[in-house]
C-alpha cells in the first residue's frame, strides 16, 4: 500500500478515498483531493515527468464539461514523498505512474513537474454527480500496467491523523445549492485540534467515516479499526468493516423526517460542516434541521 505524505495532502482543503461510485475507488485505490471553491488551478500532487495526456468523451450532463482528461506522470517517488507499506521486495515505487483526472492539461509529454506545479485547469466532467465539488483524482499503477482502464490502481493510505468529530445530528443550514445543503455542525473546534489538522465525521464508536453515506453503497474508514467491527451513527447501525472498507447497511438518511439522498463524508483541514445531498430540497440558509438514520427495506443506491 502506498502512503501519501502530509506534504502532499496539506496543499488541499479536503480529501476522500471512498466518496465516489466509480470502480477506481474500490478498496481505497484512489484519492480525491479537493481545492478551495474559488481556485480553478490544478496543482500537481506528485513530482515527475509527464508521460502522456489524453482526452476522452465524458457522459453528457447539462452542468458538466463535454470532455474528460487523463494525465499520466512517471513519478519521482522520493521527491513526492511516497512510502511503501509492505514487503520491500514488492516495493513498486521504482517505475510508478500517477493517473490524474479532472484536469484540462496545459502540460505535455516530456514536461517535468514538481509537487505544487500547475497541471492545468480543473474541469467538472460528466463523471461528476451535480453535488460534487472540483477536485483532482489521483491513483497509482506500476509502469507496466494498463494505464487507461478504470480498475487496477494500487491501494493508498494517508500519512495524517484524522480526528473524529462527534455529532448529535442537529445543525443550521449555512450553504445551499440545487442538490445539497451544508450545515454548521459538527465543527473542527469540537475535536479540540489545532489549525490545519484533519478532521472527519466520527461514528458513534469514534471511527472516522468516509464516502457517500449511503447512496454510493460502500464507504470506508480513515481511522485505525478492527476488521469486522460494527459501526453506528446517530444511534443506528451503518455497516461492518471489511478491512478498512465499509459496505453500508440498508438505511435511509432523513432530514426533519424526510428521506434525502445521503451525506458526503470526507477529511477536512479547514472548516467542517455536514454536507447533505438532497436534490429538490426547499431548505434555506438559517433553517435549523435534524438529521436521523433509520433502517430501510429500500435504501437509496446510486452506483
Residue-wise burial string across 55-79, b where 16 or more C-beta atoms lie within 10 A, e elsewhere: eeebeeeeebbeebbbbbbbbbbee
- What is the DSSP secondary structure assignment for residue 178, as one 8-state letter? S
Percent of the chain with pLDDT over 90: 81
Digit-coded pLDDT (tens) for 13-45: 999 999 998 888 989 999 999 998 888 999 999
Confidence of residue 258 (pLDDT cuts 50, 70, 90): very high
Q: How far is CA 138 from CA 50, 95, 175, 202, in A?
A: 14, 16, 28, 25
Confidence of residue 151 (pLDDT cuts 50, 70, 90): confident
Distance between first and last Cα of the chain = 25
Domains and their CATH numbers in the chain: 2-158 (2.70.70.10), 162-295 (no CATH)
Residue 88, pLDDT score: 67
Average pLDDT on 37-58 reads 93
Average pLDDT on 134-156 reads 93
Confidence of residue 303 (pLDDT cuts 50, 70, 90): low
Average confidence score pLDDT of the chain: 94
Strand partners, 54: 70
Q: How far is CA 63 from CA 19, 60, 114, 131, in A?
A: 20, 9, 32, 10
Average pLDDT on 232-258 reads 98
* Strands 2-4, 230-233: pairing kind: unpaired
Q: What is the pTM of this model?
A: 0.95
89 vs 40, which has greater pLDDT?
40
What's the alpha-carbon Rg for the chain, to the nearest Å? 19
CA distance 25 to 5: 19
Residue 159 CA to its chain's centroid (Å): 15
Digit-coded pLDDT (tens) for 91-141: 888 899 999 999 999 999 999 999 999 999 999 988 889 999 999 999 999
Average pLDDT on 172-186 reads 97
Residue 123, pLDDT score: 93
Percent of the chain with pLDDT over 70: 99
Residue 241 CA to its chain's centroid (Å): 18
Query: What does the DSSP assignment read for 105-165?
Result: ES--TT-EE-TT-EEEEE--BTTS-TTPPPEEEEEEEETTS-SSSSS-PPPEEESS-EEEE
* Residue 84 near residue 2, CB atoms below 8 Å: yes
Residue 294 is placed in which grid cell?
433509520
How many CB atoms are located within 10 Å of the residue 12 CB?
A: 22
Grid cell 450532463 is found at 61
pLDDT above 80 (res 89) = no
Amino acid at each position: 500500500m502506498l502512503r501519501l505524505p502530509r506534504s502532499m495532502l496539506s496543499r488541499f482543503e479536503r480529501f476522500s478515498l471512498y466518496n465516489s461510485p466509480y470502480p477506481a475507488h474500490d478498496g481505497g485505490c484512489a484519492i480525491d483531493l479537493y481545492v478551495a471553491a474559488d481556485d480553478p488551478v490544478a496543482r500537481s500532487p506528485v513530482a515527475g515527468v509527464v508521460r502522456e495526456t489524453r482526452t476522452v468523451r465524458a457522459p453528457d450532463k447539462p452542468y458538466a464539461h463535454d470532455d474528460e482528461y487523463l494525465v499520466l506522470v512517471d513519478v519521482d517517488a522520493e521527491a513526492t514523498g511516497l512510502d511503501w507499506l509492505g514487503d520491500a521486495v514488492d516495493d513498486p515505487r521504482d517505475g510508478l505512474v500517477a493517473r490524474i483526472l479532472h484536469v484540462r492539461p496545459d502540460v505535455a509529454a516530456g514536461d517535468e513537474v514538481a509537487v505544487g506545479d500547475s497541471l492545468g485547469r480543473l474541469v467538472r466532467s460528466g463523471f461528476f454527480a451535480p453535488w460534487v465539488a472540483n477536485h483532482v483524482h489521483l491513483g497509482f499503477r506500476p509502469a507496466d500496467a494498463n494505464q487507461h482502464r478504470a480498475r487496477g490502481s494500487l491501494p493508498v493510505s494517508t500519512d495524517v491523523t484524522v480526528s473524529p468529530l462527534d455529532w448529535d445530528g442537529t445543525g443550521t443550514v449555512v450553504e445551499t445549492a440545487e442538490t445539497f445543503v451544508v450545515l454548521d455542525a459538527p465543527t473542527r473546534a469540537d475535536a479540540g485540534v489545532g489549525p490545519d489538522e484533519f478532521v472527519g465525521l466520527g461514528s458513534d464508536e469514534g471511527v472516522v467515516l468516509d464516502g457517500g453515506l449511503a447512496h454510493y453503497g460502500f464507504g470506508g474508514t480513515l481511522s485505525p479499526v478492527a476488521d469486522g467491527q460494527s459501526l453506528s451513527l446517530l444511534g443506528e447501525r451503518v455497516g461492518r468493516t471489511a478491512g478498512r472498507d465499509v459496505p453500508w447497511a440498508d438505511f435511509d438518511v432523513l432530514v426533519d423526517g424526510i428521506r434525502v439522498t445521503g451525506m458526503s463524508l470526507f477529511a477536512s483541514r479547514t472548516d467542517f460542516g455536514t454536507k447533505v445531498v438532497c436534490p429538490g430540497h426547499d431548505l434555506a440558509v438559517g433553517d435549523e434541521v435534524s438529521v436521523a438514520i433509520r433502517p430501510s427495506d429500500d435504501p437509496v443506491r446510486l452506483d
